[in-house]
Structure 1
Amino acid sequence: MKKHIQEVLHQIEIDYKVKILYACEAGSRAWGFPSKDSDYDVRFIYIHPRDWYLSIDHERDVIEIPKNNSISIPIDKRLDVSGWELTKALRLFRKSNPPLLEWLYSSIAYYEAFSTKKKLAALAEKVFSPASCLFHYLNMAKRNYREFIQGEHMQIKKYINVLRPILAAKWIEEKNSLPPIAFPIMLDVLLPSGELRKEIDRLLKKKIAGAELVLQLRFDLIHSFLDQEITQLEEYARSLNTPITDPTQDLNEIFRETLEEVWDK
């Protein structure tokens, strides 16, 4: 599949006249618990030729295959490929955007060219905002909790879509650092043992075995944990006030250096 993904990325470059700087996995495969039917959630950052940036009207700054865009070769139906144009990515990076930060530390890289990704990774701690990231994960968890795991029966996948952002927010609260991408690492550090951990392990085994969409009776221990953590994290989030240094000048330099590195050579 990796070879096919790289072929798709190369075709995007040809069809859209761009250069891809970095591409990675951003879904359950990177999180450490894919099932046999899991999609490949490929995310990438790309740059246009110089003239695209010298026009008074900029066009769309995302490429989404096959959701809203197409390419001239067939693609595997399990692929979900989405990319952000570099200046869009840099503006989001400046805001400590958690999905973008996760891309930079993904455990599965499909492609990397030029020096842009390494430069961004080196700046990640400088732009990391505990408040911004914690609110992102907490709001994601609350939304998924409200929409997907009410009632007596629910899908395993929906549980994980609440557990993962809760643990990421809890990691920020306890470690004041970027949470790991791998869900098992967060589990081992934050919930190393106990009945709750055993219940989560049972849930993950079912997910990996391919039962992620099967309706299950509610996991009472997990529900109690989520209720407690959402309440506690909301209180903690209100106390956060950690301004970060403005990285705009650094990011402007990365953009200009990337333009030169990619197109002038």
Structure 2
Amino acid sequence: MNVSFYTLLGIRINALTIPALNSLIAEAVERNQKWIIANHNLNSLHIYHHDPKMQAFYAKADYVHIDGMPLVLLGQRLNLPLKREHRVTYADWVWPLMAEAAQRGWRIFYLGSKPGVAEQGASILREKFTGLEITTAHGYFDICPDSPENQAVLAAIHAYQPHVVMVGMGMPRQEHWILDNLEHIQANAILPSGACIDYVAGAIPTPPRWMGRLGLEWLHRLGSEPRRLWKRYLIEPWFIAKLFLREMWTQHTRAR
């Protein structure tokens, strides 16, 4: 599958829709490849510019989809060929992804969430998608590569032989874990997936989908978890604005 990369505010992204992402996973499985399919939003953009390990992770990523309508809108302002359907968040993608997995027989290993939450979400998915093979492990363990807990997680993944590993431990913890353990993760697609299963399980309220399409999902999340997310949504965007204005100025001067 031929997929173009674009540079936006110092990061590398792909213009990928949900069907295109599912097709990438199918291709990875058919070709027996191991691909990291990462994502970027405003939070990851901020972390990326302040965390060398996050930069190393994205350098390893094979594809990077957009998880945040603000990035689509900023890209459009910078003349990139981005559309609303190129914004793919797991709250939307998890359902067609699991439908595809059930249909094609992909085994899913989900690592993340609090103890019990991931399995609760997996039970909901198994009930909805007949034949879905999914197993889980919680994300509350010592992630040091040599720790007994981490080694047990890797052993569980190896024993299950999944086609897809989803890591939902929040940014940048999930990306750091993938980077540290990449050589030992046997899977065709590795997906850093944030609070994906938490939404399915109802542990975190899912924002109304119309808010996502309008780029207002952040407002719902801020209202749901103000103490945890106030800095992400009220402070970090000022750094993004500085990057955007700098890039706008660069384009302007080049066009003169």
Q: TM-score, normalised by structure 1?
A: 0.30
- TM-score (structure 2 length as normaliser): 0.31
